[in-house]
Amino acid sequence: MGLPRWMLKDALSDASRIVELAIKTALRPDGTAIPDAMMYAVKGGKTLRGFLVLEGAKLHHVDPNVAAPIAGAIEAIHAYSLVHDDLPCMDDDALRRGQPTVHRKWDEATAVLAGDALQALGFELIMYADVPDRQKIVLLHMLTLDAGARGMVGGQAMDIAAETAGTQLTLEQIEALQAKKTGALIEWAAAAGPRMTVDADEMPMRVYGRALGRAFQIADDILDVEGDAATVGKAVRKDASAGKATFVSLLGLDAAKRRAETLVEAACDALSPYGNDAETLRDAARYVITRDK
C-alpha cells in the first residue's frame, strides 16, 4: 500500500525549496551575521512541518504560492526552537543536521539573536499570505498559542523542570509534555491547510497531526537509542545518559514501536474524509516512524 517512496522524498525536497525561498525573500543583508545565521539554521532539515502545510493546502485546493509563506513561517519557528535548544544553557549541542550548531559556527549572542529573529519572522511571514484576513488571524492566533508558553515553550520548560525534579515522569506526564514541546507545532502545521480556507472542517487534519506528532516523538526517542549519530546528524544516547524517562525507557523498545505504529494507523484513519487524495500524507505518517534521521 501507499505511493512509491520517491514521491514522498520529492514532496519533502519541494517543501525545502519552497520554504527556503519564502524565508530568503523576507531576509535583508544588514552587515551583521544575523540574516546568514538565520538562513543557515533553516537549511538542512527534513522540512516535515513545511511539507504538512503545503500538503494540507493542496488537499483544500489552496494555491502553493499562497501556502508558501505559511510553510516558511512554521519552519522559521521550528528552526528558532532548535537554535535555542542547542545553546549551552539548554541542551549544549555541537551538532545539528550534521553541521555545527549556530552558537558553535558563530557565537552565543548570534545564536540567541538569530533564534529571536526567526521567531519574529515566523509571525511576519503569515502576514504575507494571501488568505482572507479572518483566516490569517486564526493562523496567527493559533501559532502564538502553539509556539508559546501554552505550547512549545511550555513543553520545553516542563522538560527542563523534569531533569532536576529528582523523580521520573510517568508515561501520562511525558505525553502531556511532548504534546506541547513537539506536538503543538506539528498539529498546527497539519491544521494550517483547512485553516487557510473559509469553511473547511479542520478536525480531520488536527486529529491526524496530533497522532502524527505523538508517533514522531516516540520515533525520536527510538532514534536516540538505535540511531547512529552520523546519520541522525546530532548526538544520540542523550536520554539514557541524562537518566531521562522516555517511551523507550518506560515501555521498552518493542512496546514503544508498537505504540508508534498504532498512532500511525490512527493518523491514517483520520484522513478517511479525503480518500485517496491524502495518500501522500499517509505515506508521511509511515515515514515518520521508519526514518533514520
Reading the block at residue 147, the C-alpha cell is: 509556539
CA torsion 102→108→110→114, rounded to 10°?
Answer: 60
Cα dihedral 202→197→135→49 (10° resolution): 60
Does 48 bind ligand GRG (CB under 6 A)? Our answer is yes
**Which residue intervals of the chain are DSSP H helices?**
5-26, 34-42, 48-59, 64-85, 102-105, 108-127, 133-147, 152-164, 171-178, 184-195, 203-226, 229-232, 238-241, 247-251, 253-270, 279-290
**Phi, psi values for residue 265, rounded to 5°:** -60, -45
To ligand GRG, the closest distance from the beta carbon of 71 in angstroms equals 13
Q: Which is nearer to ligand GRG, 67 or 152 (CB)?
A: 152
Between CA 45 and CA 212 the distance in angstroms is 18
Report the nearest approach of ligand GRG to the CB of residue 126 (Å).
Answer: 19
Contact string 182-221 vs ligand GRG (x = CB under 6 A): x----------------------------------x--x-
The verdict on 246 binding ligand GRG (CB under 6 A) reads no
Please, which residue, 217 or 280, has the CB nearer to ligand GRG? 217
| Single residue of 38, 53, 85, 209 touching ligand GRG by CB under 6 A | 85
> Hey, what's the cell of 11?
514532496
Question: Is 156 a binder of ligand GRG (CB under 6 A)?
Answer: yes
Distance CA 132, CA 70 (A): 13
Contact letters for ligand GRG, residues 103-142 (x by CB under 6 A): ----------------------------------------
SS3 219: helix
> Does the footprint of ligand GRG cover residue 93 (CB under 6 A)?
no
Q: Please select the residue that binds ligand GRG; options are 103, 181, 210, 214, rule is CB under 6 A.
A: 181
Question: For residues 196 and 70, is the Cβ–Cβ distance under 8 A?
Answer: yes
Q: Compute the least distance from the CB of residue 134 to ligand GRG, in Å.
A: 28
Look at strands 99-100 and 95-96 and give their pairing.
Answer: antiparallel
The reply to whether 101 sits near ligand GRG by the rule CB under 6 A is no
User: Total residues at the site for ligand GRG (CB under 6 A)?
Assistant: 17
Using CB under 6 A as the criterion, which residues of the chain lie in contact with ligand GRG when the complex forms? 45-46, 48, 78, 81-82, 84-85, 90, 97, 152-153, 156, 181-182, 217, 220
